[in-house]
Amino acid sequence: MGSDDFREYREQQKARRVDRLPVRQAEIESLRELGYEVIKLTEYQYRINDIYDLYPIHNRWHNIKNNRRGGAQNLKQFIISSIKL
Question: Tens digit of pLDDT for each residue in 2-51?
Answer: 788 888 888 888 777 777 899 999 999 999 999 999 999 999 999 999 99
Structural domain including 28 reads: 3-82
List strand residue ranges (DSSP E) for 12-59, in order.
38-42, 45-48, 52-55
**Cα dihedral sign for 25, 27, 28, 31?**
positive
Domain count, the chain: 1
Query: Considering the entire predicted model, what is its pTM?
Result: 0.83
Residue type (1 letter), 36: Y
